[in-house]
Amino acid sequence: DIQMTQSPSSLSASVGDRVTITCQASQDINNYLNWYQQKPGKAPKLLIYDASNLETGVPLRFSGSGSGTDFTFTISGLQPEDIATYYCQQHDNLPYTFGQGTKLEIK
């Protein structure tokens, strides 16, 4: 199975800050990397697919980059409504494994 190592596990930032989360795959995943946002009691929501493609309707302050095994998720200008847990997921090989999650809090 492909292991996805996400960091940090938690993060505290101020409104307006630039926030970065990283995700490392245990092998090359050909950019087949998605990012999800999950708020308490809700299903995850797709934000970024295939490493850098913004899902329709998702604000432009969210972005993704990276290739091969190393990927980055960025929020440019943190907003209060961005408080959530964020997960990366690879879909290059079954099983489609997730990172451990990053819990984002407001300072």
| Cα angle, residue 5 at apex, residues 16 and 77 outer, rounded to 5° | 10
Six-digit token string for 12? 């505290």
Size of the site for another protein (CB under 8 A): 24
**Residues within window 54-93 making contact with another protein, judged by CB under 8 A:** 55, 87, 89, 91
Residue 104 in contact with residue 83, Cβ under 8 Å? yes
Kindly state the smallest distance separating residue 36's Cβ from another protein, in Å.
8
**Of 21, 34, 71, 84, which one interacts with another protein (CB under 8 A)?**
34
Kindly state the smallest distance separating residue 2's Cβ from another protein, in Å.
11
Of 82, 62, 59, give the one whose Cα is nearest residue 72: 62
**Residues within window 35-54 making contact with another protein, judged by CB under 8 A:** 36, 38, 43-46, 49-50, 53
Q: Residue 99 carries which side chain, given as an amino acid letter?
A: G
Residue 6 in contact with residue 103, Cβ under 8 Å? no
Q: Which residues bind another protein (CB under 8 A)?
A: 1, 32, 34, 36, 38, 43-46, 49-50, 53, 55, 87, 89, 91, 94-101
